[in-house]
Amino acid sequence: MDKEEKVEQTGNLFERFHHLHEEYGQLWFDETFLHWNWWGSAILGVGAWIFWIFYREKESTHRLLYAGVFVMLISLCLDYIGAALGLWYYTGKATPSFPAWLPFNFCMLPVCIMFLIQTKPHIAAWKKGLFFGALTSYIGEPLFVWADYYVLTGWKYTYSLPIYALIYLFADWLTKRKAFSDACCK
């Protein structure tokens, strides 16, 4: 395939993608926007941050937000990969533009992790990570499937447990750094 053929084929694929996105955007606008699942997404997203504002340790705000931003970025990337591979999709999204469910990736997941990091700090991080992974995988995900926010097409809840546990462990590790230089190898 020469350069011109590649450019033409790529252009055709993006044109098809654009039309699919427009079609999905119209479906979202007609069937999701301002419907019960859109309002549910908005309440879950805003509610998570309101909860965190009132129950966070004020002196730990910056270090917790540092970990929270990491959680947002890694969960958004992993969610995009899973959706792109056709392992799941979302039906009650807050916006049609992202394949991920933003209230989960930008609100509930980071807030839960930040809250758990500051709660009972004497408990070993690996125990809290396993607890978080199990709770999210076997209670959180099935709840969102039941509520028709999340549809699994090739994914099992058990696959999520180590991923959530590792995300928690790395976020916990980030909050324990004294400075950015502590985060790199010494």
CA gyration radius, the chain: 19
Residues 75, 140, single domain; the answer is yes
Residues 62, 21, single domain; the answer is no
Residues 91, 17, single domain; the answer is no
Predicted confidence at residue 181, as pLDDT, reads 57
CA neighbor of 141 nearest in space, from 81, 90, 70: 90
Residues 156, 172, single domain; the answer is yes
Residues 18, 74, single domain; the answer is no
Residues 45, 27, single domain; the answer is no
Predicted confidence at residue 73, as pLDDT, reads 97
Task: Give dist(CA 133, CA 141) in Å, integer.
Answer: 11
Residues 67, 136, single domain; the answer is yes
The one-digit pLDDT tens for each residue of the chain (186 residues) are 888 898 999 999 999 989 988 998 999 999 989 999 899 999 999 999 999 999 998 998 999 999 999 999 999 999 999 999 999 999 888 888 777 889 999 999 999 999 999 999 999 999 999 999 999 999 999 999 999 999 999 999 999 999 999 999 999 999 998 775 555 555
The whole domain housing 82 covers 36-183
Predicted confidence at residue 99, as pLDDT, reads 74
Residues 15, 73, single domain; the answer is no
pTM of the predicted model, to two decimals? 0.88
Across-strand partners of 151?
Answer: 89
Residues 4, 52, single domain; the answer is no
Predicted confidence at residue 103, as pLDDT, reads 92
The total domain count for the chain is: 2
Residues 26, 88, single domain; the answer is no
Alpha helices in 95-139, H assignment, sequence order: 102, 109-118, 125-135
Residues 51, 139, single domain; the answer is yes
Q: Spell out a b/e string for 7-46, using b for 16 or more CB atoms within 10 Å of the CB, else e.
A: eeeeeeeeeeeeeeeeeeeeebeeebeeeebbebbeebbe
Residues 18, 63, single domain; the answer is no
